[in-house]
Structure 1
Amino acid sequence: MVLKSRRKTVLSKISKNVLSKDISGYNNLILQCIPSGVIVINMDGIVTFCNPSADSVLGIDCTKEKDKSYLNILKGNSQVAQLIKNGMKGETYFRKQIQIKADGGAKWIGISTAILYDDKATSLGVIAVFSDITDVKELEAEVKLKERLAAVGELSAGVAHEIRNPLSAIGGYAELLKRGLAEDEITSAVDGIIKEAKNLNQIVTNFLSFVKKPQPVFNETDVKALLKEILPIACHDKGSGRIDINIKLARALPVIEADHFELKMAFLNIIQNAVQAMPNGGRLTVKSGIQYGMMFIEITDTGGGIPKEIGDRIFNPFFTTKEQGTGLGLAIAHKIVESHDGKIEFKSKKGKGTTFIIRLPIRR
């Protein structure tokens, strides 16, 4: 009985050993065949594993190198070597995109790294897994180019549409001047030309404000004081009825790093948009506070609201539902807020009004 028991123990150990070897061999086969590159480096900086895909992606040949240190094997790929060096210090990366030189040209790779531990949580080394994403990056660039061209076409159409009316008016006034008018009629026609020329200048100014990349000059800015400064200006709209202003600004609102002029323009555009949404009068509420570590400013009107079907287009340049609007105010405000690492969003109910929420970082 004792002999049988020993035989069973020995056979069990042999079976487990064979199974372990089979699994190890199977895992190794998988690593050798997968299309992603895999490199394993121990804590001494020696490459202990490098699959064929790693050779192909990085343009190296691990098997031919006598010096197996990662610094030698990756001598032509300094960025990859640096990530591995950082990994040995405890840093990890997930799908980091870097451009490398391989096979006489440049290519993009997406790389992830992790630290290898044994069952006692002792660091054994670093594993790096990466793939060639050059085709993906080229496709992204192609899509971005098409988007830019589409945007240019849309902007051009918008500009053409906006300048057509003032130009037509100027042409009409010029025709009248040619006919020989009375003195008071000449004065009226000239005033009309001057007015339309100013409108054209405003359209061009707004357009340039939108297309130029914001380069904010950050200084300490008191948002509370800024809002109090612009509210009377923004609410003075001849085309609107009586506007009641309700201010609910937090008392302890901190000073933030921002571009005073650009932030003023953004708030002015949003508040004017709210006022214009209430042609028969209404209530404008401006609220501020701190939430999720960011400053928020809410601007609420009691206008007709924004229809759901156009909600995703209101920040597009030249999109407007107003007869006299240029469709650039909200687009410019959106761009300015983003240049401050902030966010702008809105919520609206038909017949109830709209609230724009601007979130700005307190610390930069």
Structure 2
Amino acid sequence: MPRINLHQKILFAFLALAFVPLAFLAFYSASNLRQVEEYLRTSATRALDQQAAKALELRALMVADEVALFLRGIEEDLHDLSLIAPTPENYLRFQQQHRRPIWYRGGTNAEPVEVREEIPLYREIAWVAADGRERLRIDDGRVSGELRDLSDPRNTTYLSEDYFLQAARLPAGEVHVTHVTGWHVSKSEQLGAAATPEEAVEGVKYEGVVRFAMPLRDAAGDLQAVLVLSLDHRHLMAFTQHITPTDERFVLFPSYDSGNYAFMFDDEGWIITHPKFWDLRGLDREGRLVPPYTADSSAEDIEQGLIPYNLLHAAFIHPNYPVVARAVLQGRSGVVDVTNVGGSRKIMAYAPIHYAGGVYRESGVFGGITIGAELRQFHQAALETSAFIRAEMTRYMHRSWLLIVFTMIVVFVVAWRLTQGITGPLLRLTEGTRRMARGDLAARVAVSRRDEVGQLAEAFNAMAQELNHRRRRLFDSLAALRRSRTQIIRERNFKRTVLENIETGILTLDEHNRVTSLNDSARRILDLDELSGSVELLECLSAWPELTAALREALPLNPRERWARYVKLERRGRSLTLRLALVPLVLSETLGRILTVEDLTERVTMREHLERMERLASLGRLSAGIAHEIRNPLTGISLMLDDLHDRLLRNPADQVLIQRALQEIERLEGLVNELLTFATTARSTLKPGHLAPVLSDILFLVSKQCERAGVVLEQQIDADLPAFPLDAAKLKQAFLNLLTNAIDAMPGGGRLKVLADLCDGQVRVLIADSGEGIAEDRLSLIFEPFYTSKGEGTGLGLSITHNIISDHGGRIEVKSHPGQGTEFTLWFPLQAEV
């Protein structure tokens, strides 16, 4: 029996192992590759459709969140408006400062142009008194001369609005928000001579508003007024009008016929933004809501476009429309298949706009955002992928068959050579493995054979190449990581610098309302020490009971809601006004909040000062008028009484009566003169001068009066006070009023201290007595005209003094305690602020 050597054994084994699997693979591949192809196409199509649906839904969610944030921002604008004095200038400035860009078509139907411009957010701004009558209304950038009684809805712009009545019932700080309100635009009005909405540039545009109304109440809770901001509907339209699910992402005006457009609807199912204006919620010319499009709508109404669209009544067009509306009212988002009125089949993603203001409080949803994609457009990526897979699988089948046939032809020849040279490649492969083990990742094995040994060598080379490639990528990743760390540290330092240098105090809270950090402004405003760890918020602010009382109401609220409160308090003899605000820490699932503290004392004090100056100016004008009107008849009466006195020389008793009447007339004329002095005092003429001589002159005049009253006069006047603009005569009058009042406040004697020095870059004058003092509830009245606590006099002295100091750009501060005396501090800037 012939002996079979190793070469023959390997050759026969190789041929058997090669041909049998190849034959089996040929038949098995033919029967199963088509199944694999179908599975791949189905899986890829499903995955791409799901991905596209999720992307469409995510975009709807993002737009919905933007709208919700936009609506909350309007509420904040309304609160800001409540802090502004209701004057035409202030309201016009407010309207011009609150603008947003819009993008629309201009020109003509034949030659449309693209227009981008910034327009005011609010079409109307109104201040309505408690009786419902408008006292001030800004309409499209102009002060309206037509002021209406809004307590009757028939007097409103759209003949049926009750936003004033609704807002008047709310507590202070709450906001009433209406639905979109505007005149309905019919199909013929929008299209005009155009065939489609995309071509209708010259047609009628929908003009509507959303009213935001807030009551203003006094401390007793009585209604003072209602503030109204009317949001221009064009800004709502801007959120959806330019969205398209195609690769363009944004368009000037969407194509309705394609189905690739977005629209917005409210919590009652009415569409409020849409390329077809006749689909929008609207009123007829009598202020009644136009009925929605239903299966019972007449053919004439449909043709004329008198059919606004309500999703809750649109099941006859497609059953998924009311499903979408109800899902949004339940706060859910998703994707459905629908068919629009034009017959376009499309995929529609929807998302709720979470907002709970005004009429939306019950549902907590303003409405919903939908983004539609035409069905073929939506499946385009999946269809292209499916066609690609089919073509690739077909090409793979062809290549596989060719490879199998070719392999069967050449395998014998190749097997012979491989069996002859199998030992050499194995040795080279072993050597390459050893080199790699020693760290030489560039080691390669040169093998030109195509058998299992060659494949092993190629796998080895591929492994070595991959290891080398991964090592290089690892080095690159480490370098990128170092760069990222540097950028992160730089960004962290930048944010820390900004946080520590802003004037607003910031405290970060965790989900358990514990303070985790605070900036320098918070420590300065609240006089807090550096934190050594997290501290419970109310414990951290224990020294501020007024703030903790307000925060006890706010902390139980939903941590994702915004809250703000103004708190007035007394500290170290000063009245402070602080604004507290709680905002979410981040817009994610992470819980936590930020507490901001702003010191608005100076701003509030300045506002009160300006209001008082305006009140005094009005009173001065009134006083001047009254004084002039009284003075003339007084002169006539006095002359007639003189004449009558001369005629009654033989009646001494009557003469005495007439003399007393003349004395009273002289006293009344003195009062009139003081009124004229208060009302018509010329503005001070300021010239650079020194204050010390002025004070010395006036103190010399009152020194004798102090001796007679048993008052010890203490003087401490710096001789080297810097010069500043002053009117010496007027200042002497002001100081004399203050010194005389101080002496009168010490009928039994006492101490009168007068100090003048330089403090904080200003000249300070201090006049302090040890007299009876002033009750705390009367301190705010002492500078009011005609107020006096002496039981005699006109009560104009301190008012005149206040005016004189104000003319010098200065201010007066008063401290007093009953039984402990009174201290007036006058501050004069070195440069007159007049």
Q: 1:69 to 1:296 in 2, by over 3 A?
A: farther
Amino acid at match of 2:799: A
- Counterparts of 1:228 and 1:258 in 2: how far apart (Å)? 15
Equivalent residues of 2:103, 2:116 under 8 A apart: no
Give runs of aligned pairs for residues 331-346 of structure 1, distance below 5 A: 331-346=799-814
CA offsets per residue over residues 221-248 of structure 1, 9 Å max, x none? 2111111111122455499513332111
Q: 1:147 to 1:358 in 2, by over 3 A?
A: closer
What does residue 287 of structure 1 align with? 755
Q: Does residue 64 of structure 2 align to residue 26 of structure 1?
A: yes
What's the CA shift for 1:63?
Answer: 2.1
Q: Does residue 95 of structure 2 align to residue 64 of structure 1?
A: no
- Counterparts of 2:71 and 2:775 in 1: how far apart (Å)? 54
Equivalent residues of 1:214, 1:336 under 8 A apart: no
Amino acid at match of 1:229: D
Give runs of aligned pairs for residues 81-96 of structure 1, distance below 5 A: none
Q: 1:24 to 1:229 in 2, by over 3 A?
A: same
Q: Which of residues 649, 662, 670 is equivalent to 1:180?
A: 649
Equivalent residues of 2:706, 2:712 under 8 A apart: no
Q: Does residue 739 of structure 2 align to residue 271 of structure 1?
A: yes
CA offsets per residue over residues 52-104 of structure 1, 9 Å max, x none? xx99x87996423556565xx569xxxxxxxxxxxxxxxxxxxxxxxx99637
Equivalent residues of 1:173, 1:193 under 8 A apart: no
- Counterparts of 2:717 and 2:616 in 1: how far apart (Å)? 40
Structure 1 residue matching 2:780: 3-state secondary structure: helix
Q: 1:106 to 1:220 in 2, by over 3 A?
A: same
Q: Does residue 694 of structure 2 align to residue 226 of structure 1?
A: yes
Name the stretch that deviates more: 328-337 or 246-255. 246-255
- Counterparts of 1:29 and 1:59 in 2: how far apart (Å)? 14
Equivalent residues of 1:242, 1:282 under 8 A apart: yes
- Counterparts of 1:356 and 1:33 in 2: how far apart (Å)? 49
Amino acid at match of 2:62: S
Equivalent residues of 2:105, 2:114 under 8 A apart: no
Equivalent residues of 2:686, 2:725 under 8 A apart: yes
Q: Which of residues 127, 140, 143 is equivalent to 1:103?
A: 140
Structure 1 residue matching 2:672: 3-state secondary structure: helix
- Counterparts of 1:293 and 1:213 in 2: how far apart (Å)? 29
**Structure with the greater relative contact order (CA < 8 A, sep ≥ 6): 1 or 2?**
1
What does residue 676 of structure 2 align with? 208
- Counterparts of 2:617 and 2:720 in 1: how far apart (Å)? 46
Q: Does residue 723 of structure 2 align to residue 255 of structure 1?
A: yes
Structure 2 residue matching 1:63: 3-state secondary structure: strand
Amino acid at match of 1:270: L
Q: 1:193 to 1:282 in 2, by over 3 A?
A: farther
Q: 1:301 to 1:35 in 2, by over 3 A?
A: closer
Q: 1:154 to 1:220 in 2, by over 3 A?
A: closer
Q: 1:326 to 1:64 in 2, by over 3 A?
A: same
What's the CA shift for 1:289?
Answer: 1.9
Amino acid at match of 1:346: V
Structure 2 residue matching 1:344: 3-state secondary structure: strand
Give runs of aligned pairs for residues 72-221 of structure 1, distance below 5 A: 73=118, 103=140, 105-106=142-143, 179-180=648-649, 199-212=667-680, 215-221=683-689
What does residue 354 of structure 1 align with? 822
CA offsets per residue over residues 320-342 of structure 1, 9 Å max, x none? 12244221111111122223232
Amino acid at match of 2:104: T
CA offsets per residue over residues 227-282 of structure 1, 9 Å max, x none? 11111224554995133321111243111122333222211211111122223333
CA offsets per residue over residues 12-53 of structure 1, 9 Å max, x none? x9999779745532333236656749xxxxxxxxxxxxxxxx
Equivalent residues of 1:155, 1:318 under 8 A apart: no
Q: 1:104 to 1:358 in 2, by over 3 A?
A: closer
CA offsets per residue over residues 280-334 of structure 1, 9 Å max, x none? 3332210122333322111112222223342222111111122442211111111
Structure 1 residue matching 2:104: 3-state secondary structure: helix
Equivalent residues of 1:248, 1:286 under 8 A apart: yes
Query: Which protein shows a greater Rg?
Result: 2
Q: 1:25 to 1:326 in 2, by over 3 A?
A: same
Q: 1:253 to 1:153 in 2, by over 3 A?
A: closer
TM-score by length of 2: 0.27
Amino acid at match of 2:825: I
TM-score by length of 1: 0.56
Q: 1:262 to 1:150 in 2, by over 3 A?
A: closer
Name the stretch that deviates more: 301-310 or 24-33. 24-33
CA offsets per residue over residues 342-361 of structure 1, 9 Å max, x none? 21121223233211111121
Equivalent residues of 1:176, 1:189 under 8 A apart: no
Structure 2 residue matching 1:341: 3-state secondary structure: coil
Identity percentage of aligned residues: 24
Q: 1:194 to 1:343 in 2, by over 3 A?
A: same
- Counterparts of 1:61 and 1:213 in 2: how far apart (Å)? 54
- Counterparts of 2:116 and 2:793 in 1: how far apart (Å)? 66
Q: Does residue 279 of structure 2 align to residue 242 of structure 1?
A: no
Q: 1:192 to 1:342 in 2, by over 3 A?
A: same
Equivalent residues of 2:623, 2:676 under 8 A apart: no
Equivalent residues of 1:240, 1:280 under 8 A apart: no
Equivalent residues of 1:240, 1:275 under 8 A apart: no
Q: Does residue 831 of structure 2 align to residue 363 of structure 1?
A: yes
* Paired positions, count: 272
